[in-house]
């Protein structure tokens, strides 16, 4: 049996408490500075997300469609974007997420998609490759939209059929299940902001 002296136990407690304090401080620092863009054509959803996020100390910028959202994104440079799917068009949110990826000024901004569609889970880090496998499966290949997420890394993406029938791929950082609920929203927001903060310090 390993026995520790009182001084050793005090030291271990000191290390643990300080690690917790540092972690909490980092989280609070990230939270206090974070600006979140919410793009949704439903004012009730925007109001609910604003309430959830501002209660946690986040700054919220909102827009009602892709055009306004892209303008706000370029002006405000948010730390995170939450996008609805169906706005002016059926796939406007997907198109906006794609524009984030393709625009060098916005490519580093994590995106969360609001959705009521079932998200398919995988353990493969290449979610795009897994989406292709689903497209070849008779049970899934006719779906207009496939949402997929790797439960290990959190990598996520969208495979949807464009109006001309082509399969379009959009990488995103996660999904928020509708109806909006703070117990689903906040863990995802915190996860992505902490990831972004960690990557920026490396």
Listed by start position, the domains of the chain span 31-196
Q: How is domain 31-196 classified at the architecture level of CATH?
A: 3-Layer(aba) Sandwich (3.40)
pLDDT at 200: 73
Mean pLDDT of 125-147: 90
Minimum mean pLDDT among 10-14, 47-51, 148-152, 156-160: which range?
10-14
Going edge to edge, which strands form the sheet with 59-63? Answer: 59-63, 35-39, 80-83, 111-115, 174-177
Tell me phi and psi for residue 196, to 5 degrees.
-65, -40
Question: By three-state DSSP, how is residue 2 classified?
Answer: coil
The pLDDT of residue 16 is above 70: no
Tell me the two tokens of residue 169. 């791929």
The Cα 179–Cα 168 span in angstroms is 26
Band the pLDDT of 32: cuts 50, 70, 90.
Answer: low
Q: Any alpha helices (H) in 62-151, and if so which ranges? A: 66-76, 92-102, 127-135
- In this structure, the number of other CB atoms found within 10 A of the CB of residue 55 comes to 10
> Quick one: average pLDDT of 40-45?
95
R_g of the chain computed on alpha carbons: 20
């Amino acid at each position: 049996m390993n026995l520790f002296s009182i001084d050793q136990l005090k030291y271990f407690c000191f290390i643990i408490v300080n690690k917790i304090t540092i972690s909490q401080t980092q989280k609070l620092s990230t939270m206090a500075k974070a600006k979140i863009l919410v793009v949704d054509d439903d004012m009730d959803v925007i109001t609910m997300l604003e309430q959830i996020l501002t209660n946690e100390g986040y700054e919220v910028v909102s827009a009602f469609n892709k055009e306004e959202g892209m303008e706000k994104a370029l002006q405000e440079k948010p730390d995170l974007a939450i996008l609805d799917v169906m706005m002016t068009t059926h796939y406007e949110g997907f198109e906006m997420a794609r524009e984030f990826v393709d625009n060098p000024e916005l490519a580093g901004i994590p995106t969360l998609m609001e959705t009521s569609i079932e998200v398919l889970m995988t353990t493969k880090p290449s979610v795009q490759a897994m989406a292709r496998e689903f497209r070849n499966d008779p049970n899934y290949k006719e779906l207009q939209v496939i949402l997929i997420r790797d439960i290990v890394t959190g990598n996520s993406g969208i495979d949807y059929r464009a109006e001309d029938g082509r399969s379009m791929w959009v990488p995103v950082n996660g999904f928020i299940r509708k109806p909006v609920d703070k117990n689903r929203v906040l863990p995802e927001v915190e996860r992505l902001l902490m990831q972004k903060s960690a990557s920026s310090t490396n």
